Chain A
């Protein structure tokens, strides 16, 4: 279970972006969170990925309450949740080749020996072909870079996946390809998914159920 209970978060304690947000994902379930832009759903996605410390509320991952966020979260918990962001340009270290980008979590967790095999498998799964893996982010298109970012999120075999507007910048075909890659991974590993976005048609097609932002959180001040 991935549970968010009465979470209040923002960037200024006196003016939270949202209050009392609650959301529960069953193992293997995919949930689409629908909300208008600027409502705070990206902040909620960061809280769920243990990347942003909420001002109040509880987050529980597979029964284990989360006590620290970002570097203070245990590595075991952090790596149980893969995350993909909206803008691939900003989410990729510009100096790494796509191969190193995908392999980086393996290196950071001392599992670099798995890298050649895992990167090859994920490149195939996300449709990265040819010499793309040897290039740096500025030499590939947004769509190709986002494929690499998805591969990076999957490389540690997370039990949960948080996709924050993963396809908002992408064309229809790349969107369908990325969603198919996510679903293939989930079918194989039984991972749960929180997909945050504003595209109702997409999320309703993609996810088991969708949740309206208004029904899940209260606006901040």
Chain B
């Protein structure tokens, strides 16, 4: 009967058990990535190549609806809206990126320091964070920009100084939970200094979280910038930003001219959603439960 024994490499009928939910997720991630890439490409490539003046005024062409020559129409002094939207997105994205970066660096440093030192340092720093957080962000932001002349840098400072608080909280709690792990005990036993434990073992472990917070903060910062500009406190009105575009177009909306507000609005909503979508995919990647799923 030995010939009937099971052969080791008979061709097996393999069945997959992957769930279909995956494909919709892939579509979402791909769409987000494409839109984000298109956005970045547009703001980086279009202004230097096209060499058109987004400030060019043509009063004969004021408030024209979308047409082949001006796909997004023109504004109340005849400037091309497509070009102004791209330039506006450029400013908003720049403000968003720089502000998010600055806020993340401040937040990570403060959060990590509070957790690493502990004791009174931790208590004082975190009460300070609580105090700042109790003031509405926009109000605090307005207070900060009001101290300077309108421009890009006051807006960046305003956004950064109001957004590092949540990152500080995230980083602090992550570091605190890591600090009690046996691998930190092992590092101490191996002669590592407090500084080395923080720099080599704790900070690298929280960087994915901090990076995720930073990416999620970009859309938030863009909206914050737009809100300030819309209120007339952000950038000077002649400078195209998505906020100032909507702000200057408010009047014509009442006259039934929809395009000067709709397109800047879409330029704000679609890229920010795409960036948030990418951040969501990243969060899923660094989620330890999903990571452990792939382990044996």
State the A residues within 8 Å of B (CB). Answer: 46, 49-51, 70-71, 75, 78-79, 81-83, 85, 87, 90-95, 104-105, 108-109, 138, 141, 149, 152-153, 155-156
Q: Is the CB of B201 within 8 A of A93?
A: yes
Q: How far is the CB of A99 from chain B (nearest CB, A)?
A: 15
Chain A residues in 8 Å Cβ range of B188? 51, 70-71, 78
Is the interface on chain B under 10, 10 to 19, 20 to 34, or 35 or more residues?
Answer: 20 to 34
Chain A residues in 8 Å Cβ range of B187? 93, 104, 108
Q: Is the CB of A79 within 8 A of B183?
A: no
Q: Say yes or no for B182: interface residue by CB 8 A criterion.
A: yes
A152 CA to B182 CA, complexed, in Å: 13
A152 CA to B123 CA, complexed, in Å: 35
A18 CA to B182 CA, complexed, in Å: 21
Q: A108-B196, A138-B291, A138-B295 are in contact. Are A85 and B186 (CB under 8 A)?
A: yes
Chain A residues in 8 Å Cβ range of B205? 93-95
A93 CA to B194 CA, complexed, in Å: 16
Chain B residues in 8 Å Cβ range of A75? 191, 193
Q: Say yes or no for B51: interface residue by CB 8 A criterion.
A: no
Contact of B191 among A87, A92, A153, A156 (CB under 8 A): A156
Q: Say yes or no for B181: interface residue by CB 8 A criterion.
A: yes
Q: Is the CB of B183 within 8 A of A92?
A: yes
> 4 closest A-B pairs (Cβ-Cβ)?
A105-B190, A91-B182, A108-B192, A109-B191
Minimum CB distance partner of B204 in chain A: A95
Minimum CB distance partner of A86 in chain B: B182
Minimum CB distance partner of A84 in chain B: B186
Which residue, of B191, B194, B196, has the highest number of chain A Cβ atoms within 10 A? B191
Q: Is the CB of B183 within 8 A of A105?
A: no
Q: Is the CB of A156 within 8 A of B183?
A: no
Q: Known A-B contacts: A78-B191, A85-B182. Give 14 more (CB < 8 A).
A: A46-B185, A50-B189, A51-B185, A51-B189, A70-B188, A75-B193, A78-B189, A83-B185, A93-B183, A93-B205, A105-B190, A108-B191, A109-B191, A153-B189
Chain A residues in 8 Å Cβ range of B291? 138
A83 CA to B189 CA, complexed, in Å: 7
Chain B residues in 8 Å Cβ range of A51? 185, 188-189
Q: Is the CB of B194 within 8 A of A90?
A: no
Q: Is the CB of B191 within 8 A of A90?
A: no
Q: Is the CB of A91 within 8 A of B295?
A: no
Q: How far is the CB of B207 from chain A (nearest CB, A)?
A: 10
Chain B residues in 8 Å Cβ range of A85? 182, 185-186
Minimum CB distance partner of A72 in chain B: B194
Chain B residues in 8 Å Cβ range of A50? 189
Minimum CB distance partner of B194 in chain A: A71
A46 CA to B186 CA, complexed, in Å: 10
